[in-house]
Structure 1
């Protein structure tokens, strides 16, 4: 069915036969519904359009009656609040007119005058009389349509004036007579007269207009009309090309890219390439200031590209130089006799047409060079690509420059530099996004803007821009949406799924998760939606966030499944000689692994538990285990999973720790009846929870071996035994065990086990005063941990080495190690209590260290040391007694000795030797205490008391302690 409302109502059926709609009210109702095709029109709106200010007694009933009559001819739907006419908008002449008028205007702006003229003729040809003639109270809508018709007629005249046949002067005179104050029509009449050689009449038409405006409005002609008058006076028929647009802001950064452009002076085609907002247009304009500038952003039809270039060259000017013939041939004819540069801006939406035209022009015009800006290459032989990456250090400079424009006096200082850097990073250091962000300093401080970008994201906050800018550059959303709209459905599907990756991905991962091939991925790279270094693929964060809003949920599930499979495949390799290669593989996808874990907490908890278990070795070898704490805690809160090694893995990573979970985890480990599927899980349990039996002072006897007969598990059991012997006051057999197990790990090529053994061998050597050997062993251990990137383990080694250096009297060396340990600790996302203790300079510093120390198996030794440093020796002794290792108690005993009377101090120092199994060579606290006791007792008495304490067995020493 077709409905005509541009004139009196006309309705025709699908067979072309007229459809009768009887009665003025039903006809008016049909006009109103057709004007709002496919939209519900409320009953109140219908009453207002039908009756105005004089509705009947029962207006709703009257409307219902009219609908009933109308339904005899037309299908009208009711949805509870109003009525709707379901019809193709193109079957309503008014709606078809609006679409055609808009399309014609776009074609006209793009330089496609012939196509624009054809579309606009069709549009105005739909009018048969006054619009909405059957709608008694539709004057506002009718006036709007009449204004649109007049605008379409003016657009049609402009299009026809640029064609060889021109336009009818007589028709233009009629239009002017009907609309005497429309200056655009009067200018078109002047141009039409001039184009037909009637210059005097054109000038007379201007005088008539000037007098009319002065008499009627007391105003002068518009600048546009005056310019037309001046051009006619000069009979100026010379082409006027479009130059590079003048810039309103300073040009910041891009020195390297500008230098490269200058170095490409001999290149005839350079394409400045990059995603939206990187500053492609600005760079091209700054470099080629004398070029002819062609803005292709309005051009949606490839056939119109030559017309747009003709217009920019001044060869399709409105009416003064009418064109004829093939536009490409005209371009070649114009450009083959001169050296010139064209800047073709925004080529991406018509890239194939641009490529074809450029190939033709460069082949036929030897003096021509082209600089194109695009989000994808033109793909021509001889094309030189200049990719634009986000700004580097210049990002802060650009922000400061634009911020000073909206907040006078603004400058980047030490106080706000971190926030400015965070703002730039949040918007991927894209120049346009930085400018949009700087403009928001009208409303926010730098700190507020940084915080809001972190919490709300860039798209919501950067929703305002320059009102005069092109629509695609007014907001950050528009920048990315411009690229999105150019993608095919298949490319959009892949881009949306790709957005689930965090930190990039390998080709294999993309193909699995995105269900695609590398061909589609290559298209996204060409379109600057995805970047690649040849090995991995990534999106800028702003683009990723835009696409993520369109990602299907099954993409995140596929992402989690893929990275679970990767983690489980990698786990056994982390205990072998190839562990560094697999650590590098997992580290490259660390962000993806953590993203998969975070999603699975709620999306698929079973996958989450498996991920924690499979990644345990990776996290501990690379010093990242604290990053799993939050997800582990959330998984433990999901009921139904309190079983298996996966559950134990979550328990040992969760912070804070809950007794019920630890009790259950201990039961699960003791119930293992075969080799563990994830051997590192019980290993971490042992390192975190201590001896499984939990009884104090019998760690060696209570240690339960890990199940399994493979070389790594057996070596790890022996490593644990060696460390416990050392900490249990039996350093000699412990050292022998560690030396043997070190050789085993070397044979396996397992560097984590080697680093552990070396660290504790160094500790024993330091206790004995074998300084050179200790430092050599620590250096080797630290080297392995650094290769892993194990920040937390590096902190532990540096702190132990700093203690040894302090005992040697090398305070500067110890301080340097502690400073480095502090930096690594902060990078790992925590403040290590041992670092705070080593760097403490006041009781307040020590109190801060104590607050940071955990009151558990792993934190007790440093907690006891901090209490000793605070002089709270009784509390230090109490804390040390909760540790299963006598080495912790020995340190607290030495601290207690510093406050005891001389004979007791000598005895306690000897007891510490008995507990530890050796003296800590050169310990400043021990040395100062021994010197004081010797001075008070005399050398022989001190030696006797010291020897008495040292002769004790461990149990005897424990019994003698307060």
Structure 2
């Protein structure tokens, strides 16, 4: 568990989820304990800090109650402990402690880059003012704030030493008399070519210091001011930015680092990604290291080598009769060559010549493709991260960030130019209408932004510029690639007539993004543009047919692979193709992907695809059942689909009939030589044998299925077969073995991303925790299972998990919650003929009524439950129903009947080797105590009197 005080008080669970500590005094208590951690805090200090001069009556008891609340909020994990005269919090991780550790490590680091990284990490932990509003925390907060300011100053020193940009203006305004901070600010302005601003800032500081404090600036500031006055003006033509650069701090730093190691750095990326703005920011930060100037040369209008030479000479003020090589030979200059793509060969040749002649020259180029020279360092400028894109759009559009803003940013590929073009439209359209109109993004983003080059004033113009630079073969390839909804592999690209050479050239021109695999993707805006070109080309129908044929073939090839030793590899491959599979409506594809979609929890997608394409009826029936839709009959189809239709409903309806159906599937699998389906049918039969009380047969089938799946290499099958063995261990009272098997299954399911299996196994682990009396862990596990099952729309997993929460609530005395959670599933179980589940729910609801003292309701529910249990033929279910009925009878004073029922239940459990679990013994113990009280009323009165 992690704690945060560098901002509002925060608590995070092990999986990163924030935990709520809602009550004000409890939050203050936790804050006080964290401030002093790892030392214990005396109770009297806690009382004084929490209540000041107005402590409550019986303050020690009230404090103890607050401690109990805090323990509950932290999950009763033993993190708040009593120590001699006070309390202590056991801190696994505290952001303030980590902040101080990183500060110490940074100060000890000898290498500047490492020190900068450590300082960035330390300062990145801050979320706001420390524990604002808590008076007792003021000294603690002041110490940390002073350390934060010192580290900011140290980071600025390091960044300046590394030639990186530094922005301290806002901090100087907040701390106007901090001279070291001001000195760093002045140095940063001067190095960025903003000496006039630096001198003005010094003059303002000097006047303010004299007027408010009656003193002069210190010697360091005076010497810095004098040095700036004596220097020549900075040599640069870089324009001052009109807006703040968002989300690029790390990129600016990395580009600066590259220019420290390489003399030619090219920023490559698609149009509108922000190459020029990033280059300007990086160049600004390097002004100090280029004493002969940092010069921007705009090449968008250049068309020939002569244009290129004239542009550079004019920018540098060199006469046209002086060769550039002579003018730059002895200079330490940084040239920023912007928009090189349309004269890429000429730029490459000139760069080679100049770098060879002028050893002090460095070139920073922006282009939609690299120059391709030896020694060139390529930096791929990518779209903004989603948080940075949201920040940029919200700032430019003057709106609050939120889900709709994030959706707009995603649909615009988080491209800075697209966001800049979209933001002004919010005033006229509003966010919702803007999002809706992005289906036609080129029309929506057509209004021009003044001050931009013509090629960047609309989104279409940006992409037109790239399109015009392509060869005919590259244009053909780009429009064909637009047929893919989720990117493609080389194999898929070749299937629609795009070769490796064209892919490589488009990637070099930043029109195709190369991902892991490799996988080739188009940004959404480029894809939309290319699809328009495909529609105009006359070949769209043919390309769509090729796409359809390829993905049907891929699905058919994948079907056996997701059941074998290469399961993990093929699941990942199919995941990557999910968007394109969704475009293909074909029964062959729907059938082939049915099992994959089930494993991934995409049940609605599977059902709808099967229904729309006329796929195998057994697959369709099985998916409908998994979604909680009661099937009229068990449909038959292919052997695997037929197995699936029985497997997902084995717990519903007539167990004996389901057993007959699975026997039929097993025989078909044997006849067809289908080893996988035979193993799967054995696993299902193991569940059914257990439900019918034949534990020996269940174990035999489970072990055979596990061996078969292990031989086949199917991890899903292994965890499914092991699930039966875990349940048998649970029934036999071996809870350690049950937990071990469940945890191994959960690990395998999470590793493969089998989310329905994960949900079931989380809930199953919760059941083990419940049976062993660990109710806190049981609740946590069932809650996680509910969240996951809800996301998957998996009704049976959701029912199993919700019922588990109801069981926990009943055992913790929250009877209203228990009844609500349990009762909501009765009608659904009745619809799907889930007799076993119905019997169990009625028993639990009967116990709720009994614990409330309602004998009549308890009797009615338990009698209904007993009838349902007897219909299942499961001795364990009948035993539970008899125990429940015994409770109802004992409440009505029918001691002999209740005693008889308990004895019958015990005999039934013994007959199948299923002892009463510790977690269920509480019900029987309560009933036995009530029976004892009926038999010995005098003893009961004496006990009550003694307790009083």
TM range (shorter): 0.5 to 0.7
Question: Residue by residue, what CA displacement relative to the aligned partner does 1:129-153 show, whole Å, maximum 9, x if unpaired?
Answer: xxxxxxxxxxxxxxxxxxxxxxxxx
Distance, in Å, in 2 between the alignment partners of 1:450 and 1:825 is 34
- In 2, are the aligned partners of 1:242 and 1:294 still within 8 Å (CA)? no
Residue 275 (structure 1) shift: 1.3
Distance, in Å, in 2 between the alignment partners of 1:826 and 1:422 is 23
- In 1, are the aligned partners of 2:331 and 2:360 still within 8 Å (CA)? yes
Which residue is 1:572 aligned to? Answer: 560
Over 3 Å counting, the alpha-carbon distance change for 1:923 and 1:434 in structure 2 is: farther
Q: 1:350 and 2:335 equivalent? A: no
Distance, in Å, in 1 between the alignment partners of 2:346 and 2:826 is 68
Matches for 1:328-477 after TM superposition, within 5 Å: 330-392=323-385, 395-397=386-388, 399-400=390-391, 403-404=394-395, 406-407=397-398, 412=401, 416=402, 418-443=403-428, 448=432, 452=436, 456=439, 459=442, 461-477=444-460
Which residue is 2:917 aligned to? Answer: 922
Over 3 Å counting, the alpha-carbon distance change for 1:658 and 1:914 in structure 2 is: closer
Q: 1:649 and 2:619 equivalent? A: yes
Over 3 Å counting, the alpha-carbon distance change for 1:396 and 1:755 in structure 2 is: closer
Q: 1:517 and 2:517 equivalent? A: no
Distance, in Å, in 2 between the alignment partners of 1:592 and 1:367 is 50
Residue 697 (structure 1) shift: 4.5
- In 2, are the aligned partners of 1:806 and 1:814 still within 8 Å (CA)? yes
Which residue is 1:685 aligned to? Answer: 645
Equivalent residue of 1:361, what SS?
helix
Over 3 Å counting, the alpha-carbon distance change for 1:743 and 1:458 in structure 2 is: same
Residue 932 (structure 1) shift: 1.5
Distance, in Å, in 2 between the alignment partners of 1:538 and 1:566 is 19
Over 3 Å counting, the alpha-carbon distance change for 1:733 and 1:653 in structure 2 is: closer
Worse-matched range after superposition: 365-374 or 273-282: 365-374
Equivalent residue of 1:683, what SS?
helix
- In 2, are the aligned partners of 1:295 and 1:346 still within 8 Å (CA)? yes
- In 1, are the aligned partners of 2:447 and 2:458 still within 8 Å (CA)? yes
Distance, in Å, in 1 between the alignment partners of 2:708 and 2:550 is 34
Which residue is 1:28 aligned to? Answer: none
Which residue is 2:580 aligned to? Answer: 595
Over 3 Å counting, the alpha-carbon distance change for 1:661 and 1:742 in structure 2 is: closer
Matches for 1:830-909 after TM superposition, within 5 Å: 832-839=798-805, 842=817, 846=821, 850=825, 857=832, 865=840, 869=844, 873=861, 898-900=887-889, 902=894
Over 3 Å counting, the alpha-carbon distance change for 1:809 and 1:287 in structure 2 is: same
Equivalent residue of 1:372, what SS?
strand
Distance, in Å, in 2 between the alignment partners of 1:497 and 1:754 is 42
- In 2, are the aligned partners of 1:271 and 1:377 still within 8 Å (CA)? yes
Residue 783 (structure 1) shift: 2.5
Distance, in Å, in 2 between the alignment partners of 1:898 and 1:444 is 66
Question: Which of 220, 241, 250 is matched with 2:244 structurally?
Answer: 250
Matches for 1:148-227 after TM superposition, within 5 Å: none
Distance, in Å, in 2 between the alignment partners of 1:742 and 1:299 is 70
Distance, in Å, in 2 between the alignment partners of 1:298 and 1:695 is 80
Residue 777 (structure 1) shift: 1.5
Matches for 1:809-824 after TM superposition, within 5 Å: 809-824=773-788
Question: Residue by residue, what CA displacement relative to the aligned partner does 1:899-941 show, whole Å, maximum 9, x if unpaired?
Answer: 4555555566646974994546326566415631563279999
Matches for 1:497-536 after TM superposition, within 5 Å: 497-513=480-496, 515-532=497-514, 533=516, 535-536=518-519
Distance, in Å, in 2 between the alignment partners of 1:337 and 1:242 is 18
Q: 1:294 and 2:297 equivalent? A: yes
Residue 812 (structure 1) shift: 2.0
Which residue is 1:75 aligned to? Answer: none
Equivalent residue of 2:413, what SS?
coil
- In 2, are the aligned partners of 1:727 and 1:885 still within 8 Å (CA)? yes
Distance, in Å, in 2 between the alignment partners of 1:562 and 1:888 is 52
Q: 1:724 and 2:688 equivalent? A: yes
Q: What is the TM-score with the length of structure 2 in the denominator? A: 0.61
- In 2, are the aligned partners of 1:623 and 1:789 still within 8 Å (CA)? no
Over 3 Å counting, the alpha-carbon distance change for 1:763 and 1:261 in structure 2 is: same
Distance, in Å, in 1 between the alignment partners of 2:543 and 2:881 is 56
Residue 288 (structure 1) shift: 1.7
- In 2, are the aligned partners of 1:467 and 1:474 still within 8 Å (CA)? yes
- In 2, are the aligned partners of 1:271 and 1:373 still within 8 Å (CA)? yes
Question: Residue by residue, what CA displacement relative to the aligned partner does 1:362-417 show, whole Å, maximum 9, x if unpaired?
Answer: 2333332211101111111121111112223xx5345435534543xx555xxx3x
Matched length: 652
Equivalent residue of 2:825, what SS?
helix
- In 2, are the aligned partners of 1:868 and 1:876 still within 8 Å (CA)? yes
Question: Residue by residue, what CA displacement relative to the aligned partner does 1:853-906 show, whole Å, maximum 9, x if unpaired?
Answer: 576559775566556555583776788799797877776666566545555555
- In 2, are the aligned partners of 1:833 and 1:849 still within 8 Å (CA)? no
Distance, in Å, in 2 between the alignment partners of 1:406 and 1:619 is 40
Which residue is 1:306 aligned to? Answer: 309
Residue 729 (structure 1) shift: 1.9
Question: Residue by residue, what CA displacement relative to the aligned partner does 1:820-839 show, whole Å, maximum 9, x if unpaired?
Answer: 32343355366723333334
- In 2, are the aligned partners of 1:846 and 1:870 still within 8 Å (CA)? no
Which residue is 1:754 aligned to? Answer: 718
- In 2, are the aligned partners of 1:699 and 1:885 still within 8 Å (CA)? no
Over 3 Å counting, the alpha-carbon distance change for 1:766 and 1:332 in structure 2 is: same
Structure 1 stretches lacking a partner, 5+ long:
1-239, 316-320, 602-607, 670-675, 942-962
Distance, in Å, in 1 between the alignment partners of 2:873 and 2:594 is 25
Larger radius of gyration: 1
Q: 1:553 and 2:523 equivalent? A: no
- In 1, are the aligned partners of 2:267 and 2:365 still within 8 Å (CA)? yes
Residue 796 (structure 1) shift: 0.8
Over 3 Å counting, the alpha-carbon distance change for 1:620 and 1:877 in structure 2 is: farther
Over 3 Å counting, the alpha-carbon distance change for 1:875 and 1:634 in structure 2 is: farther
Q: What is the TM-score with the length of structure 1 in the denominator? A: 0.61
Equivalent residue of 2:583, what SS?
helix
Distance, in Å, in 2 between the alignment partners of 1:425 and 1:800 is 38
Equivalent residue of 2:379, what SS?
strand
Question: Residue by residue, what CA displacement relative to the aligned partner does 1:801-850 show, whole Å, maximum 9, x if unpaired?
Answer: 21221121011221232233234335536672333333456268527953
Q: 1:705 and 2:665 equivalent? A: yes
Which residue is 2:700 aligned to? Answer: 736
Residue 659 (structure 1) shift: 9.9
- In 2, are the aligned partners of 1:633 and 1:654 still within 8 Å (CA)? no
Equivalent residue of 2:260, what SS?
coil
Q: 1:798 and 2:762 equivalent? A: yes
Distance, in Å, in 2 between the alignment partners of 1:474 and 1:786 is 47
Residue 614 (structure 1) shift: 1.2
- In 2, are the aligned partners of 1:242 and 1:312 still within 8 Å (CA)? no
- In 1, are the aligned partners of 2:598 and 2:606 still within 8 Å (CA)? no
Equivalent residue of 1:700, what SS?
helix
- In 2, are the aligned partners of 1:621 and 1:788 still within 8 Å (CA)? no
Equivalent residue of 2:584, what SS?
helix
Question: Residue by residue, what CA displacement relative to the aligned partner does 1:772-817 show, whole Å, maximum 9, x if unpaired?
Answer: 1111121222222223211111111221221221121011221232
- In 2, are the aligned partners of 1:767 and 1:920 still within 8 Å (CA)? yes
Which residue is 1:32 aligned to? Answer: none
Question: Which of 479, 483, 498 is matched with 2:466 structurally?
Answer: 483
Residue 421 (structure 1) shift: 3.7
Which residue is 2:679 aligned to? Answer: 715
Over 3 Å counting, the alpha-carbon distance change for 1:501 and 1:862 in structure 2 is: farther
Equivalent residue of 2:665, what SS?
coil
Distance, in Å, in 1 between the alignment partners of 2:826 and 2:336 is 64
Over 3 Å counting, the alpha-carbon distance change for 1:708 and 1:378 in structure 2 is: same
- In 2, are the aligned partners of 1:420 and 1:450 still within 8 Å (CA)? no
Which residue is 2:265 aligned to? Answer: 270
